[in-house]
Amino acid sequence: MTTTTSPSSPPLRAGVIGLGWAGQQHVNAYAAAPGVELVALAAKEEELLASIGDAHGVAGRFTDWQQMLAEADLDVVSIATPTFLHSPMTVAALEAGLHVLCEKPMAENATAAARMVAAAESAGRVLDIAFNHRQRGDVAALRSVVESGVLGKIYYAKAGWLRRQGIPGLGTWFTRADSAGGGAMMDIGVHMLDMALHLMGEPTVTAASASTHAEFGPLGRGGSGFGISTVEEGVPFEVEDLATAFLRLDGGGTLLLESSWAQWIPYDQCYVALYGSDGGASVEWGGSAQEPYQRLHVWTEVAGVPAELQPAVGPHGQHAASVTQFLAKVRSGDAAAHTGAQALARARVLDACYASAASGAEVPVG
């Protein structure tokens, strides 16, 4: 398999499994990446295989992902399928000698995620998880502020993603516990958990105290369409549509995390707020379709005078940046440094949150 960086090296041969919205972002990114040939696609939807394959000139089209792994002669593959398929597909791809970029959440639970990391370590291949919102320009700018030391010691943070009405696939795999692993916290809360810990410098979460609620989904309300959604007959709503968590961090810090698919608020909201010994900061975005907003604030003092800083914000990288970073990790030749261990730590936090919500007590992480 091609992993070197020599100018004379053949291009990396890429494939994508799953052609929903996220999978299509991976397809576009590989198609535009230098030194990459997009050679294979796998999906059950034959019309998507045809249209996307035609649009990018991809000859390898498979309705069986295992056949694609066996026949397409790939170097790298993206997996953008329902959550419960992430672990078996990733393990199979790694065992076939491929480097893997998998969509978030890593897996339906930490046990399945741990199998992925073990497979990456055994195969000596890169395993990366696509947390695309970490690639936002304002998040990168705030990370630079934190690294500069302006905020001092960060001892407290709050993060959340709240939707007014946005349960995805109400009545589908998204709302079944065995296939999704969880609801709003697993789907979008994990983005904010990843973002907050990334901004804070990767503190270890030691314990979780959480609560979950399901007030919209069981009634067929809160779907991403307008009004009452059609619920598949016999498919119950088994996950939460709102979750909150109090997370203890090593060194005594704390992080509050909230996520909702549906809630009585005026518009969708995303935010991370950091509180340090020498300054505070927040990044937030959301709003209505008519009045969206993006804000980045940094508060500190200069020579004893309160000051608000305005960091320069670059473009949002999103999935394309996730793919670019993954390819750089593959080309580095240092697979041992990129085994998915950080994403596994996120999965263990989520497991602790759900265990805490079920027991009504604080639960140690891991």
348 domain residue, yes or no: no
Predicted confidence (pLDDT) per residue in 195-204, tens digit: 999 999 999 9
Q: Are residues 172 and 253 in the same domain?
A: yes
C-alpha–C-alpha distance, residues 49 and 64, integer Å: 12
Q: Are residues 123 and 206 in the same domain?
A: no
Q: Are residues 200 and 154 in the same domain?
A: yes
> How many CB atoms are located within 10 Å of the residue 204 CB?
14
Q: Residue 131 burial by CB count (10 A; 0-12/13-18/19+): exposed, middle or buried?
A: buried
C-alpha–C-alpha distance, residues 19 and 208, integer Å: 35
352 domain residue, yes or no: no
355 domain residue, yes or no: no
Residue labelled with tokens 């707020």: 273
Predicted confidence (pLDDT) per residue in 9-58, tens digit: 789 999 999 999 999 999 999 999 999 999 999 999 999 999 999 999 99
Residue-level pLDDT at 228:
46
Q: pLDDT band at 2, cuts 50/70/90?
A: very low
Residue-level pLDDT at 23:
97
State if pTM tops 0.85: yes
- Pick the closest to residue 239 from 314, 178, 322 (CA basis): 178
Q: Are residues 309 and 326 in the same domain?
A: no
3 domain residue, yes or no: no
Residue-level pLDDT at 227:
43
Domain interval for residue 64: 12-133+320-339
Residue-level pLDDT at 167:
93
Q: Are residues 177 and 120 in the same domain?
A: no
C-alpha–C-alpha distance, residues 36 and 196, integer Å: 32
Work out the average pLDDT over 221-228. 68
Q: Are residues 158 and 34 in the same domain?
A: no
Mean pLDDT of the residues in the chain: 94
Q: Are residues 81 and 145 in the same domain?
A: no
- The tokens of 318 are what? 């999103």
Asked if pLDDT for residue 8 goes beyond 70, the answer is: no
Name the domain count of the chain: 2
Q: Are residues 291 and 164 in the same domain?
A: yes
Predicted confidence (pLDDT) per residue in 304-353, tens digit: 999 999 999 999 988 999 999 999 999 999 999 999 999 999 999 999 99
Residue-level pLDDT at 169:
82
Beta carbons of 30 and 330 less than 8 angstroms apart = no
Predicted confidence (pLDDT) per residue in 238-265, tens digit: 999 999 999 999 999 999 999 999 999 9
Q: What is the CATH number of the domain that holds 204?
A: 3.30.360.10
Q: Are residues 122 and 254 in the same domain?
A: no
